[in-house]
Structure 1
Amino acid sequence: MALEDMDRLVTDLFCGPESPYGSFELPGGRPAHGTELLPGTLYRYGLLDRATRTPVTVQFYLGVSGLGERLWKQELRVLQRVAALRHPALPEIQHGGHIEESVTEPFGIRGCAYVVTRSGDGQVYDESDEDYGLRAGYVETIATLRSDRGETVAHFMSLADALSVLHDMGIVHRNIWPGTVGWTQLDGDEYQLVLSRFEMSSLVSNLLRSSLLDSNERAKQARELILAQGGDALAYFSPERIRFLLADGARLEDHRSDVYSLGMMVAEWMTGPIPEELLAEVGAAMAAGPDLDRLLAAAGEVNRHLAAAVHELPGPLRTLLRDMLAWEKPTGRPSATDVVGRLSDHYEHLTSDAEQFTGSDYLLVFVPAESRKTLLKWELVDLDPATEHGRIETVEFILGDLKDARLLHMPGGAAPFVPGQEVEKLYAADQLLLGRDIGWFCRPFAPEVGLGRRGGPDERGLLLTYPVQLDSARGRSLRVAADKVRKHRWVPPVRIVASDIDRREMRAELESSPSWRPLMDAVREVAPPTRAERAYGQAFDWLLQFQRTELESRQYPYIAEGAGRQDQVVLRYDEERDQRWRFGSAMATAFANTPGLRPPMGDFFAGAGGEDGAVPVTLRGDDRGAPARHAAFTGDCVEANNETVVVAAGRRTGSVPERGWITLADDFGAWMALSRQEQARWELLDNRVLVEQLAKPNAVHTVRLTKRSGNAEVARALSSTEPLFALQGPPGTGKTEVTSDAIVRYLEDERGTRVLVSTQSNFALDNIAERLLRKLGLLEGEAPVAQAGSDVIAVRATGARGESKVHPLVEPFLIHKLAERRQREIVAGARERLREAADESTRRLLADWCEVVEAGLPELIDRLHRAANLVFATCSSATPATLARSAAADIFDWVVIEEAAKAWPTELAIPLARGTRWSLVGDHRQLPAHRRREVLRFLEACAASTDEDLRVHGERQEDYRKVFGLFDNLFVDDPSATVAHPPRHTLRTQYRMRPAIGEIVSRAFYPLVPPEPGEHVDIDAEGMLATGRDDTGVLREPPVLARNTVVWLDTTGLPECSDEPAWCNPGEVRIVNAVVESLRPRPVPGKDGYGDHPIAVLTPYRRQLDLFKSWGEIRPHASTIHAFQGREANAVVVSLVRDQQRGAPEQPWRSIGHLNEPELVNVLFSRAREHLVVVGSFAHFSRYGGAMWADVCALVERYGRVVPAGELGVV
C-alpha cells in the first residue's frame, strides 16, 4: 500500500461534504499529504475541524486485526487516561472509531481505525511551514519566549507538571523536542504550550513487547519511527536515548530522559537558539549511517553549549537546568516532580520584577467569632478568641501551627472536607495552608468599606476561613488529597491580625504587605471546568446537601424523663433545640416545612420497624446544641407516639444522656455511605473523559449494532466499545447473561487487564458473580474449583461488616477464604507428590514446601491480593479502602455496573471513579433511585423559594434531572447531537414471560412512541419487546388459573376487601392465601416444572407484607415489589391493597398512592414467568388509576381474564 492511497482515503472519507467520520477540512485547501510513521501500519494527518476551525491530529492504524489493532487500542487508552487528567499542557482526545474493510477496500486498505486529538492551535516548530523555513520560524519563537522570562518560566512549570503526572501514571513520552510541543490560544494574547505527538509513548514500548514481531524487527521499527524525524529532534535527546535508538541491546531509557529533553528545550528558550553549526553536525552524523559515536559527540557539544549558556540565568533556574542537562549520570537528574517543586519554591522571584518585593511578612487574617466555634471548641486554645488575651493566644497558636507549613491549591476548596450549606464559600476557599496539626483553607480577604459592606478581594491578605483538624477522619482524607498535589511551596514568614480591627488599621496592614498572587500562581492547578463538569458538580453538590439534610432530619433532640416502667426510659421531644437545626440553614428549613419529609419524632420511630418489628436506636449526648460525636447508648425503641419515644434500657438506664439526640442505629451505615459518595464526587469530576462521556456519549465502536442484533453480537460490542457503553435490558431480555458473556470475552482477549463488577445490591452482585464464576470454570455445582491453572483470580470484595450478606456460593471468593482454600490446594498437591516421590531429596523439598505454605497464609493473601483481576463489589463498597482489602489495584481497566438505573449518580460515582473504561447496564423503565420522586418534588419547590440560594438550584432543575437520571439520559435522543451512533443498545427479545404477560408489559411500558406524562399509550400498537419463549404453563388447578396466563381477581364490591390507612387490606390477604393453598401442583422448587423460585407473593406496602408474614403458607414467598426487582418466579400473586377513591380521577396518586409510578407497576407485572394473578379492585384502578392503569386494565382484558374474586371457587 502506498502513502497516496491513505491520502485518497483521508480526502474522500474525512474531508468530503458528508463525511461519516467527522467534519474536517484540509488546511489551506492543499491536497492531503500524511506522515508515514510506520509503513503499512501507522499514519498521521493534520486536519481542520470544519465547525470550530481548530486544527486536529488524526492518527490511522491499519490492519486492525493484528499489530494495527493493538497499537490503536493502546494509544486510545493512553490518550483517554491523559485526557482524564484535565491538564492544560496535555492533549485532548476528540473521538475515534473503526472503519469497516468494505469501506476501505477501494483504497487498497484492509480496514483501519483512527483517533482524533486536539493538541493545540499550532506547533512551536511548524513542520507545515516549509516555505518559511522550520528553523527560521522557530528562532522567532525562541526570541518571543526569551523576551518574557516570567511567561517562559510559567510554560516551563506547566510542561514539567504535565510530565510529572504522566510519569506518575507510568507513561513516558519518549519524543520531547520542539517538534512535539504545540500551542493553544487562550484569552487575549495569552497562550498555553501543550505536549503533542503522543504516539511515541505507548508505541515504542508496545512495539518492543509485541508478540506479533520478532525482537529484531520490533527494535528496528521502533527506532526507525523516531530516527525518521531527523537531526533536529535528536539534538534534544539524552545520550542513553540515542544509544537505545542506535545500539543493539541498549537498555530502554526511562522518564529521566524526558526530563533531559525538556531541560534542553527550556535552556534554548531562555538563552537563545542552538548555533546552526552544532545542529549541522548532528544532521551530518545522522546522514552518515547514522554514526553512533559521531552522533553522541555532536549531541554532547549541543549539551555543553546550553549548559554553559544557562550561567546567565538566576541562581535557582541555572542550578535546576544544569541538573536536568546532566550528560554522564542520568540518575543525577531530578524527576519531573522535583522540577515542579523546585520551580514552585522560587516561582515568584523567577516570574516577577525584584521591585515588587517589599521584604515584609505576608498577611493572614483570622475571624475571632469563627475561631470560637472551632479552635476553642476543639480545646486547642484556652481563652475565647474574641477577648483581648484570647486574640494573643490564638495568633500564637496559628503561628506555631504554620511553622514549616506548605501552601497548596485545592481546586474544590474546602467543600470536600468541611460540611456546610454555604457551598459557594467553601469552593472559594481554595488555598490551603497545611500546618502541623491543622489544614487552613483560605481565600483572599475582602476588607470592610463601610456600612457593613465589603469591597473586592485584596490579594495582599489571606482570610483563614475553614480549619480542619488533620487527625480527624476528614483531616486524614485531606492529607491524602494534599499528598497527591504536585505543586506546593513552603509558607513564607507571616503575621496575623484579627478581621475586626479598625478599618484604617486594616488598610495600613494591607498596604504594607506583599501580594500572595505570585505564590498562588506558583501552586495553581489550571483546568477550567467544562459546561458538563459544572452541571455535574452543581447537581452532585445539591443532591449530597439534600441527603445530608435528610440524615440530619432523622436526628431528634430529646429530654429524658427518667426511668419509666421497669427498665424503660421515656424520651420527650425537645422543640427548642430542634428549632436551632430547623432554622440553621435554608435547606433544613425548607425540608422540615415540606409535608411528608419529616414526621413528628414519635411517628417517625413508630413507622421505622424492620421485618421483625424491632426498632434499634442510638442515643448521643448533646454537644453545644448538636449530636455528640460518639454514641452513648444503643438499644430498642419499644413504644413511640407523637412527641415521645420509649427506649428499653435494662440495667443501662444510667447510660442514657439526660439531654441528647435519638436516631436509628441503622443510620450509621447511611452516614458512611454519604461520606463515601462525597469523596467519590471529587474523584469522578476529576475525570474529564468520564464526565464528558456521561453527558454526551461518543465512544469508539468496533461493532455496529442494529435492532436485530443477537445477544452474542451485543456481548461482543459490550466487551470492545470504549470508553463508555450503555446497555438497557428490559425484563427477561437476559442482560445479566449478555454482560457476563462480554466480561468473559474481554478477559480472554485482553489478558492481564483488571475488571471491576459492581451493582447496587448484594443480591444482584452475587447473581452476576455466580454466573461469571461458572462461565470461567471457577464454580461447579455448589463448590468452587481449584484455580491453579486459571488466568483469572476472582475476588468478592466487601467491608468487614458486609461479609454476612455475601451469598454462600460466592463466599469462598472472599480474599481470606480464597487464600485459605488455595493454601489447602497447594498443600494437598504437594503431599500427593510427596507420597509418589522416590528420592529422599525430593521428599525433603516437598515436606519443607508444605511447612512454608502452611505458615505463609499472609504471604499467600498478599500474592492473591496483587493478582486479583476480576473483583466484585457493591457500589457503596467500591472505595479504595475496601478494595484494598481484596485487590492491589485501585484503578481498573474496565468497570461494569449492573442495576445502573436504580442508583443515584453519587452512588455510581464510587465504582465509576475506579475505572478508565466503563459500561452501564440497567433499565430506566423499572424502579429508579430510592425516593427519586420526593427529591425531584423538593427540587421543584426550591424554584419558588424566597431564599436565593435555594431558588438558584430550583432554576437549574432541568440540568439536575439529567444528572440524577444519569442512565436514563444516555438513552435520550438529542436533536442537536453530532454523534450518529451513540454507544448504547436496547435488548428487544425477552425470554422470561409467556406471550400474554410479555404483550402487556411491552405495550404498556415499552411503547415505540412513549406518551407524554398522564397520556395514554397506543395499546393497539406493538411494543418494543418480542417474546422468545414458549406458551406453556405449569399450573393444573385452579382451572381458571391453568387456562389463563393472566388473571385479575376482582375484589370490587367485596365488603371485607377494603383498604386501611398506612396501607393494608386484610381481605386481600385471605384471598391470596386461599389462592396459594389451591395451586396444583404444589409450588415446590425444582419439581413438577417449577424452577428455583416457584412462587412469589408481592405487595407495594410494608404493612400488607406484615400481614402476609403472619400466614404460614404465604410467609416464605412474600416480599415487597421493591425488594423483588431483579428476581422472577413461575407464578406471581400480587395484592394491590388500595380500593378507595380519595381524589379526582385526574389526581390518581391520591387514590392509588405510589402504584401511580409506571416503573413500579412495570416491575409488578414482569416478575412472573408462567402465571400472573392480580388481586384488587379492577373498577377502582381502571377508573381512578389514571391513564396508565386504564391502559393496563384494557390490556389485561385483552390478553388475560378478569374474574370476580368470589367466583374463583377457592375463596
Structure 2
Amino acid sequence: MITPGTGKTHMVAWLLREILEEDPVAQVLITAQAHPAVDVLRAKVEQEAFKDIPEARRPLAIRLRRANSEQSDHLVQDEPGSEQQVTKSLLENTIGQLEAAAGRLERSGVQADWLEICRAMLKDLNTKDASSAKEFRELVKRSASITYSTTGDGDLAALADEVTYDWAIVEEAGKAHGFELALPLCLGHRWLLIGDPKQLPPYRIEDYQKAVSELDATVASLEGLEGVGNLLDTELLHSWRVRTEEQRREFGEYCKKWLKLFEQVHSLCAFHEHDEGLLTGQHRMHPDIGELVSGVYYKGRLKHYTRDESTKVPHADILHRLAEPGELKDKAVVWLDLDPAAVDPRAAENAVPKYRNPAEAHALERFLRSLRAAPDRRLNLAVLSPYAQQVGYLREKLNTPHLREALGEAGLTLAPDPRRSRLEGPDARRDGFFTVDSFQGNQAQIIAVSLVRNNTEVAGKGLGFLVEAPRMNVLISRAELLLVLVGSWDFFRDQVSHVSRKPEEETKLQHLAFAVDQLEAWFDEGRAVRIRGDLKGFDAPFRLA
C-alpha cells in the first residue's frame, strides 16, 4: 500500500534496477491503466535508476503503444523506445560494430553475412511485407528485459500466447478494474501491485455495482434475445435460474466486493502482513499538508521527511516563499472563504447544470492574481475540483491568455495536463484545470481546490459526493508546497456539526469532521489561515430552476 508522497515511482524504478542486477536475464512488465502513468515511471527508470549505466549496457526496453484514432501509426513507431525505434537502433549499432571490426581485422564470412542481413532488414524495416524485418521486430519485442505498456494494450494482448514475465508490476493498481488487471497478472509469475485503497476506486465503480444488483433483470433480458446463436452462454443463465434467492443475494455481494480487486487483494495481504505493505515516509508534501492528510485518512501513521527531525522545522525547499499576499507567509494551508448560501445567495452552487459555483471561480481568479512568487523562483499551479462542470467553467473563465500572462509575470505557470502523452505537443487549453479523477497520481507545487458545494440543505445532506473519503483524500494530497481550499467555511463546519468524532462510531462524514476540527485548531494557532474571498465586481449568473 502506497500512501501519498512516499515516492512510489522512485521506489519502483530502483527496485527494477535491483531485479535486473540480481537476474540479468529477467523479463519485467511495467504497466498501468493509463499512458501517462506508464510514461512517468519509464522516465524515472531511464533518467534516475539507470542514468549512470552506459547506453550500450542498459537492459533492452521497449514501449508498447498501439496507435489510436487520433495518432498516426507513423508517430507511434517513431516514439523513443517503441518497437520500431528500438529495432532500428539495434540494427544501426550492430552494423556500426561490424563495419568497425572490419576496419581492424579481416571480416569473416559470418560477419559479412550478418552485415548484409542487418543492412537488408534496416532497409526493409518500414515495409510491412518484409518478413525478415518483421520477424526481427517480433524477436526484439519478445526478448526485451523491460516492457512498458498499458494494461489493455493490443500489442501486449498479442504477446499473451508467446511471452511470460518474471515480474508484472502494475502502477496505480487501485484505479484499475479487475478485467484491466487480468492480462498483466496472467502474464506475470510474480506481481507487484502499487496503489492505495484509501484513494479513488476504479472508474464508474458505482455503475458496475448497480449492474451486479440487477442480475435478475439482466438474465431475463438475455433470455429474451433472439438470433444470438452460440454467442449466449445458456448454461450460465440456467445456473442463475436454479439458485435460491439467498444464493443470488450472496453471489451479488461477493461480486460487489471483488469488483474492487486491488482493495480485496490488499486486505488479504494485510491479514498476513502486519504493516499491510505500507510505505509511510512521505518526501513530497509540506509537513503541515502531510499532517492533515495523515491525521484524517491514515490515522497519523505517515512520517514526514520534509522537516528537520529534531526541530520539526520544514526544509527550505518545501517552503513556497511567496512574496505576496503577506497573509501566506509561513503558511502551507489556506482556506479562501465565502459566505454560506443562506447569508449570501450569490455564493451558492448552481445545481443545474450539476454542479458548479461561479462565485468560487471569481474569488479564485482574484486570489491567483494577487500571488507573487519570490524573484528567484518559479512555481507551478493546478486548480482541481471534484465536479467536471466546475472544471469546465473554471477553464472557460480563468484559462485565458491574459491570466496566463499575469501568472507568468508573477512567477507562476499552470501545470501541464498529465494525460498528455509524449506524442502530443503542448496545448495550453488543457493545462492547469483538472477533475480529481484525472489528477490522481500527479502533483503540483500549488494546488487550489474549488469545493463547489454551498447550499441551504440540512446538516449532512448538502455535500454530495464530497462525503466520499477517497475523493477528498486525493484532493488535499496533491499539493507539495501550498494547499488552497476554496469554499464556505461556515457551510462545511455546519454540515458536519452533528457528526460523532468517536473512532468506533465511524460514518461517511467523519473524515470531513476530522478535517474541519484540525483546520479550525490550526486557524486558532495561526498555523493555517482563512482569507476572505473577494467577490468585488461579481454578478451571479442567471440560475436555472
User: Contact (CA 8 Å) 2:364, 2:533: kept in 1 or not?
Assistant: no
1:823 is aligned with what amino acid? Answer: L
Partner of 1:1078: 370
- Against the structure 1 CA distance between its residues 838 and 954, is the aligned structure 2 distance closer, same or farther, given a 3 Å change threshold? closer
Preserved contact between residue 759 and residue 899 of structure 1 (Cα < 8 Å): yes
> Which has the greater radius of gyration?
1
Residue 89 of structure 2 corresponds to 821
- Per-residue deviation at 1:775? 4.2
Q: Distance in 2 between matches of 1:786 and 1:1102?
A: 46
Whether contact under 8 Å (1:1048, 1:1173) holds in the other structure is yes
Distance 1:912 1:849, change over 3 A: closer
Equivalent of 1:1135 in 436, 447, 450: 450
Provide the rounded CA distance (Å) in 2 between the counterparts of 1:1187 and 1:1125.
Answer: 22
Tell me the amino acid that sits aligned with residue 1048 of structure 1.
Answer: W
Q: 1:934 to 1:844 in 2, by over 3 A?
A: closer
Partner of 1:1001: 293
1:1099 equivalenced with 2:375 (yes/no):
no
1:1099 partner letter:
S
1:1126 counterpart = 2:399 = no
Return the letter of the residue paired with 2:153: S
CA drift at 1:903: 1.3
Equivalent residue number for residue 799 of structure 1:
66
Q: Which residue of 2 aligns with 1:682?
A: none
- Structure 2 CA distance for partners of 1:809 and 1:1180, relative to 1, 3 Å: farther
CA shift for structure 1 position 811: 3.0
**Whose RCO is larger (CA < 8 A, sep 6+)?**
2
Please give the alpha-carbon distance, in whole angstroms, between the structure 1 residues aligned to 2:29 and 2:193.
Answer: 12
CA distance in 1 between partners of 2:201 and 2:370 (Å): 35
Q: Secondary structure at the match of 1:896?
A: strand
Q: Paired residue for 2:530?
A: 1202
Q: Aligned partners of 1:843 and 1:820: how far apart in 2?
A: 24
TM-score by length of 2: 0.72
Alpha-carbon offset, residue 935 of structure 1: 3.4
Q: What residue in structure 1 maps to residue 416 of structure 2?
A: none
Distance 1:1197 1:1004 in 2: 14
Q: Does 1:956 align with 2:251?
A: yes
Q: Deviations over 1:367-424 (max 9, x none)?
A: xxxxxxxxxxxxxxxxxxxxxxxxxxxxxxxxxxxxxxxxxxxxxxxxxxxxxxxxxx
Q: Give the Cα–Cα distance (whole angstroms) in 2 for the partners of residues 1156 and 1136 of structure 1.
A: 12
Q: How many residues align structurally?
A: 444
Query: Shift in Å at residue 1152 of structure 1?
Result: 2.1
Q: Is it true that 1:1145 corresponds to 2:459 in the alignment?
A: yes
- Does the alignment pair 1:1171 with 2:482? yes
Deviation at 1:761, TM superposition (A): 1.2
How big is the shift at 1:945?
11
Does structure 1 residue 1036 correspond to structure 2 residue 350? no
Report the Cα distance in structure 1 between the residues aligned to 2:467 and 2:99, rounded to whole angstroms: 65
* Shift in CA distance, 843/1127, structure 1 to aligned 2, threshold 3 Å: same
1:926 aligns with 2:199: yes
Distance 1:1081 1:853, change over 3 A: same
Q: Judging changes above 3 Å, is the alpha-carbon distance between structure 1 residues 833 and 1002 closer, same or farther for their aligned structure 2 residues?
A: same
1:662-681 to 2 correspondences below 5 Å: none
Alignment partners' CA distance in 2, 1:982 and 1:729: 15
Distance 1:983 1:1174 in 2: 32
Q: What is the CA-CA distance between 1:1069 and the residue it aligns to?
A: 1.3
Which position in structure 2 is the counterpart of 1:872? 148
Q: Structure 1 vs Structure 2: percent identity of aligned residues?
A: 28
Distance in 2, Cα, partners of 1:751 & 1:1170: 40
Bigger share in strand? 1
- The answer to whether the aligner puts 1:770 opposite 2:43 as a matched pair is yes
SS at match of 1:1069: helix
Aligned counterpart, 1:409: none
Letter of the 1:1006 partner, please give it.
Answer: Y
The alignment partner of 1:744 has SS state of helix
Match of 1:1024 in 2: 301
Task: Report the CA distance between 1:959 and its aligned residue.
Answer: 2.4
C-alpha distance in structure 2 between counterparts of 1:844 and 1:935, whole Å:
63
Cα distance in 1 for residues equivalent to 2:433 and 2:517: 27
Partner of 2:188: 915
1:752-779 Cα offsets, whole Å, 9 max, x none, are 12111111111111111111223453x6
Distance 1:1127 1:1181 in 2: 26
- Partners of 1:940 and 1:1205 in 2: CA distance: 44
Q: Give the CA deviation at 1:1033.
A: 1.7
Q: State whether residues 1183 and 1190 of structure 1, in contact with CA within 8 Å, keep that contact through their aligned partners in structure 2.
A: no
Q: Secondary structure at the match of 1:751?
A: coil
- 1:110-259 alignment to 2 at 5 Å? none
Change (3 A) 1:925 1:802: farther
Say whether the 8 Å CA contact 1:796–1:810 is kept in structure 2. Answer: no
Give the deviation of 1:805 after TM superposition.
11
Instruction: Map residues 731-880 of structure 1 onto 2, 5 A cutoff.
Output: 731-775=4-48, 777=50, 787-790=55-58, 792-801=59-68, 804=71, 811-830=79-98, 837=103, 841-842=106-107, 851-857=116-122, 858=133, 860-877=136-153
How much has 1:831 moved relative to structure 2?
5.2
CA offsets 1:86-112 (integer angstroms, 9 cap, x no match): xxxxxxxxxxxxxxxxxxxxxxxxxxx
| Distance of 1:787 and 1:801 partners within structure 2 | 30
Matched, 1:1109 2:395: yes
CA offset at residue 1163 of structure 1?
A: 0.5
C-alpha displacement of 1:1058: 2.3
Contact 1:1105/1:1119 (<8 A) preserved: yes
Correspondence 1:1154 to 2:465: yes
Query: Counterparts of 1:36-47 in structure 2 under 5 Å?
Result: none
For 1:871 and 1:771, how far apart are their aligned partners in 2? Answer: 14
Query: Residue 983 and residue 1171 in structure 1: after superposition, are their counterparts in 2 closer, same or farther (change >3 A)?
Result: closer
Root-mean-square deviation (CA, aligned residues, Å) is: 3.8
CA distance in 2, matches of 1:892, 1:786: 25
Q: Please give the alpha-carbon distance, in whole angstroms, between the structure 2 residues aligned to 1:1044 and 1:1002.
A: 18
| AA aligned opposite 1:1095 | L
Alignment partners' CA distance in 2, 1:1145 and 1:1048: 21
Report the counterpart of residue 895 of structure 1 in structure 2. Answer: 168
What is the TM-score normalised by the length of structure 1?
0.34
* Deviation for aligned residue 1:927: 0.6
* Offset of residue 942 of structure 1: 6.6
3-state SS of paired residue (1:986): coil
Letter in structure 2 aligned against 1:1122: D
Contact 1:732 1:992 (8 Å CA) reproduced: yes
Change over 3 Å in CA distance of 1:1074–1:1006 after alignment to 2? same
The CA deviation at 1:965 is 2.5
Cα distance, 1:776–1:733 mapped onto 2, change above 3 Å? closer
CA shift for structure 1 position 905: 1.5
Structure 1, residues 970-1029: CA drift from partner, whole Å, max 9, x if none?
A: 443799x6x5x479410111111111111110111112xxxxxxxxxxxxxxx1111111
CA distance in 2, matches of 1:999, 1:1207: 31
- The CA distance in 1 between the partners of 2:211 and 2:338, in whole Å, is 36
Write the deviation string for residues 273-313 of structure 1: whole angstroms up to 9, x where unpaired: xxxxxxxxxxxxxxxxxxxxxxxxxxxxxxxxxxxxxxxxx
Give the secondary structure class of the aligned counterpart of 1:1192.
helix
1:1134 positional shift: 1.0
Aligned to 1:906: 179
Any conservation in 2 of the 1:769–1:810 contact (CA below 8 Å)? no
Match of 2:512 in 1: 1189
- Supply the AA of the counterpart residue of 2:147: V
Q: State how 1:409-808 maps to structure 2 within 5 Å.
A: 728-775=1-48, 777=50, 787-790=55-58, 792-801=59-68, 804=71
Which of 262, 266, 269 lines up with 1:967 in the alignment? 262
